[in-house]
Amino acid sequence: MQTKNMEVHSISEVHEQCALLRRSAAATQTKLTDILKSSNGLATLMRLKYEPVGYDPLDPARELHLIEQINQTFTYLASFQAAIELFKMHPEIRSLKLNLGTEAGADIETEDSRGVVAEVFASVNPANNRKLCQDVAKVAKSHAHHKYVFFLCPGFQPGMQKSIEEFDSVTVIALDFRFSYPP
């Protein structure tokens, strides 16, 4: 996964990034339709595995392997939705630094509002690989005043979740899975 760091200053800037994700997804859908029409069975699967049939979620002109695009797209969507939630919860925030990809450090952070830090992930189940517990423990160590873990997972009611007892200083929020669908 390619690391992408960005600073966003408003909800509208976040929506602009989401538009790029949608353009990349649309380009991939077009390419997949062509592949499915022109190929069959094992040949189709081989192309999907070995050929770059997808696009970079934030650069619709850059080809990428499909699985990478899928994983990055939903991780980025979760980060963008979390950023929107943070701007709403803390209107005094002037900017958020988003660390998308594999860079060390918090996924979202700012010094505004006495410090905000957040870890963000997308998964089938937040308990898989103890991801939720590990992210809550990581955020709890931060010196930021506001500590969050956001997750995007189908089947969870959006909003605040029961915090992990030993880390009551961290707010856990399930993101709205429907956010990923075009308005």
Residue 135 is assigned to a structural domain of this protein: yes
Q: Which domain holds residue 95?
A: 91-180
> Total structural domains in the chain?
1
pLDDT of res. 155: 86
Instruction: Please report whether residue 29 resides in a domain.
Output: no
End-to-end CA distance of the chain: 27
pTM: 0.90
18: in domain: no
Quick check: is 26 in a domain?
A: no
Q: Is residue 56 part of a domain?
A: no
Residue 155: Cβ within 10 Å count:
8
Q: How far is residue 50's CA from residue 69's CA, in Å, rounded to a whole number?
A: 13
Residue 149 lies in a domain: yes
The answer as to whether 21 is a domain residue is no
Per residue of the chain (183 residues), give pLDDT as tens: 455 889 999 999 999 999 999 999 999 999 999 999 998 899 999 999 899 999 999 998 999 999 999 999 999 999 999 999 999 999 999 999 999 977 677 999 999 989 999 999 999 988 888 899 999 999 999 999 999 999 999 888 899 987 666 678 899 999 987 765 554
The DSSP annotation for the chain comes to ---EEEEE-SHHHHHHHHHHHHHHHHHHHHHHHHHHHH--HHHHHHHHHHS--EEETTEEEEEE-HHHHHHHHHHHHHHHHHHHHHHHH-TT---EEEEESS-SS-SEEESGGG-EEEEEEE-S-TTGGGHHHHHHHHHHT---SEEEEEEE-TTS-SEEEPPPGGGTTSEEEE--GGGGS--
Assigned domain for 46 exists: no
